Structure 1
């Protein structure tokens, strides 16, 4: 009867030995409990009774279980699950030919333009993640020529941030101007990264231009871009005082730490 019970449960071959052991134990308990309900000649033996509701609930839940078959549950590197084989081939081809402009452009015309919308966007995102900002710009220009393309601030934002992190501020400003021509405003994170990039690049005047553009944004300002500017403009007290005045007007409850005047060379 135990073997018949096991066969009725139809446990997959890959089930663990622990589950199989527990199942056999329950089957034996049920069998012994059913026998114990009949009149017994053993005096003093205590019958072992198993709750039938618990047994039915256990067997029904066991039948619904889906056991792991040993295959990998998912990809080992982030983003691969959303990238098809053609997109992976394109990414590898772009990185292999990035130093040869002629072959790179030919590869883009023959392979990139054939990608579907989701694959093309996945290639763009993966290149940004791998900090291949120059290649990402080329893919973005291809996307802009597609019929399905619509101005999207998030596509601009991620690409501009990737360029700013790579200190390619000239390319970042070209995209910034293109974005503004399409009447798109980035969020606070984009402003912060571009301002930080210009300050690292040694261009405080360009950082101030982005700051002035940020003040025209319809979204309410946040503290982080202001504090990045206040810290980066320490060698430029006149520009810093201008930002400080705006900060105190917009955030009257916040405090700005002022360094001693000796740092500004006023004494």
Structure 2
């Protein structure tokens, strides 16, 4: 070992600056320790471990600062242990990858250990460089012949799943049996949940069926719950029931979460009676007791079907069973009564909610406001709007849209614009075209087309793109004011923005053009709407000459 150190010193002593300082520090210890030694004493002989660390620091320094000196290390034949230690000295993922590449490729070509490969892969994954990590993993398994253990493979799969490399995660899990390791169900469940979150339910079902058929892993209750929730989300309740039946094959029993998912799926597909029957069976069997989520799902199903008496019967059954309703339960009932116009019952539910000290939220007030607006009681809706401030609850975009739409229906455009200005001051609400459109519509109907266009410009300044309804309102509004040239400009802007006009818009606009004595323009609009033309540059020259002419209808 001293001869190896001597050879290393011969490599670097002619170049003493950063590397020699690092080597001197490693051999002799920190400066504070060096000063404590007597002048006549010499450093102690390094042990095997300290020598390897000393060489590792030299390797790391050379790889990062003096790569042209790496061939000189062949004289000391660095060990894989020293190469692995050099990786740990790298300050960041990029440096670690540079050290790994320099040491394990020509000219040194040190064969990396399995630990070194896994170490650099972990560093890359934790730095968000999963693509590089996968490339090294492939090199580790195919070129060097190392097989990962279950723990490491699970880490890599989870890292790729978090980085949205879902197909790569699925491929890794499918190869688990080839590597001779059995990954815990957690990794499979997390991947399936991520795939379902991105709408890939059919892929999840296919993977799940293949995995259990190939006996790659043994699914647990969570596994089944994830897949059952996915198929229920796309309305495949029958498939969900089949999966529940298969749980016994793997030693699993449906739990409360399983039944909640199933009941919610049945109620969402208008099979509320079957969902209610599942609830009754749970109460009757007593093995897996229902909770507030189970009851609320059935109540919501009945409310959406307009069966408020049945919904209230389930609510009373829940309270009698000793299960306290939560905010979601009350919101469902308030919204249900509001939809059918029974404001008295909606208010009664709200009062009961406050008596039981169940805190209302923005959905509670939005549902009450919506109910009053549906019944034409706008002033009562505005009173509820004011009550929100007393509860320190901020309205959301949906709340604004309800009030603004109702104000516009009653031609109270000034108040609607005031609320729209208030909305524009809220940085936490992303503006949507459906909130602005009623204001633009009521202004156009009142003949205030220029004010309506200012609203359109304001929404664009807020980053909200007009939709086809916005353009349709403006086109018809400007036509009604005999400002055909501007209506034509809006039509072209609409098409170029990718908003396909519907038949009502096209027919109405063509009728206006024909009444204005502009048959060529009407023909061009027909071709543009059918895809025969694509740009305002294709407007016939007579039209361009008359774009600034207002024609009376």
Q: TM-score range by the shorter chain?
A: 0.5 to 0.7
Which residue is equivalent to 1:88? 242
After superposition, the C-alpha distances for 1:114-161 in whole angstroms (9 at most, x for unaligned) are xx6539826434423433111111121121111335462121112212
For 2:244 and 2:357, locate their aligned partners in 1 and report how far apart those are by CA, in whole Å. 38
Which residue is equivalent to 1:52? 111
Which residue is equivalent to 2:326? 187
Matches within 5 A, 1:19-30: none
Question: What is the aligned-residue RMSD (CA, Å)?
Answer: 4.7
1:251 equivalent to 2:392? Answer yes
Task: Give the gaps of 5 or more residues in structure 2.
Answer: 1-73, 76-105, 118-139, 154-171, 178-204, 211-225, 232-236, 246-252, 412-553
Which residue is equivalent to 2:53? none
Task: Give the gaps of 5 or more residues in structure 1.
Answer: 1-35, 38-46, 92-115
Which residue is equivalent to 2:14? none
For 2:410 and 2:314, locate their aligned partners in 1 and report how far apart those are by CA, in whole Å. 36
For 2:391 and 2:363, locate their aligned partners in 1 and report how far apart those are by CA, in whole Å. 13
Contact 1:156 1:179 in 2 (8 A): yes
Deviation at 1:198, TM superposition (A): 1.5
Equivalent residue of 1:184, what SS? coil
Which residue is equivalent to 2:300? 161
Which residue is equivalent to 1:5? none
**Matched residue count:** 197
For 1:80 and 1:226, locate their aligned partners in 2 and report how far apart those are by CA, in whole Å. 30
- Identify if the C-alpha distance between structure 1 residues 244 and 180 changes in structure 2 by more than 3 Å, giving closer, same or farther: farther
- Identify if the C-alpha distance between structure 1 residues 228 and 75 changes in structure 2 by more than 3 Å, giving closer, same or farther: farther
Equivalent residue of 1:74, what SS? helix
Which residue is equivalent to 2:271? 132
Contact 1:79 1:126 in 2 (8 A): no
Which residue is equivalent to 2:343? 204
For 2:146 and 2:301, locate their aligned partners in 1 and report how far apart those are by CA, in whole Å. 50
- Identify if the C-alpha distance between structure 1 residues 182 and 118 changes in structure 2 by more than 3 Å, giving closer, same or farther: closer
Which residue is equivalent to 2:365? 226
- Identify if the C-alpha distance between structure 1 residues 139 and 252 changes in structure 2 by more than 3 Å, giving closer, same or farther: closer
1:79 equivalent to 2:228? Answer yes
For 1:143 and 1:208, locate their aligned partners in 2 and report how far apart those are by CA, in whole Å. 32
For 1:145 and 1:205, locate their aligned partners in 2 and report how far apart those are by CA, in whole Å. 34
Contact 1:131 1:166 in 2 (8 A): yes
- Identify if the C-alpha distance between structure 1 residues 201 and 85 changes in structure 2 by more than 3 Å, giving closer, same or farther: closer
Q: In terms of Rg, which structure is larger?
A: 2
Q: Return 206-215 or 239-248, whichever deviates more.
A: 239-248
- Identify if the C-alpha distance between structure 1 residues 75 and 166 changes in structure 2 by more than 3 Å, giving closer, same or farther: farther
For 2:240 and 2:392, locate their aligned partners in 1 and report how far apart those are by CA, in whole Å. 50
Matches within 5 A, 1:104-183: 118=255, 121=259, 123-148=262-287, 150=289, 152-183=291-322
Contact 2:368 2:381 in 1 (8 A): yes
Looking at secondary structure, tell me which structure has more helix per residue.
Answer: 2
Deviation at 1:240, TM superposition (A): 4.2
After superposition, the C-alpha distances for 1:183-242 in whole angstroms (9 at most, x for unaligned) are 433332332222222221222222122111221233322122112212321323675476
- Identify if the C-alpha distance between structure 1 residues 224 and 67 changes in structure 2 by more than 3 Å, giving closer, same or farther: closer
For 1:136 and 1:151, locate their aligned partners in 2 and report how far apart those are by CA, in whole Å. 12
After superposition, the C-alpha distances for 1:156-187 in whole angstroms (9 at most, x for unaligned) are 11221222223332211111121223343333
Contact 2:244 2:254 in 1 (8 A): no
- Identify if the C-alpha distance between structure 1 residues 237 and 185 changes in structure 2 by more than 3 Å, giving closer, same or farther: farther
After superposition, the C-alpha distances for 1:73-126 in whole angstroms (9 at most, x for unaligned) are 2259941789999942999xxxxxxxxxxxxxxxxxxxxxxxx65398264344
1:63 equivalent to 2:147? Answer yes
For 1:153 and 1:67, locate their aligned partners in 2 and report how far apart those are by CA, in whole Å. 37
Of structures 1 and 2, the one with the larger relative CO (CA 8 A, separation 6+) is: 1
- Identify if the C-alpha distance between structure 1 residues 156 and 61 changes in structure 2 by more than 3 Å, giving closer, same or farther: farther
Deviation at 1:67, TM superposition (A): 6.1
Contact 1:75 1:81 in 2 (8 A): no
For 1:219 and 1:53, locate their aligned partners in 2 and report how far apart those are by CA, in whole Å. 62
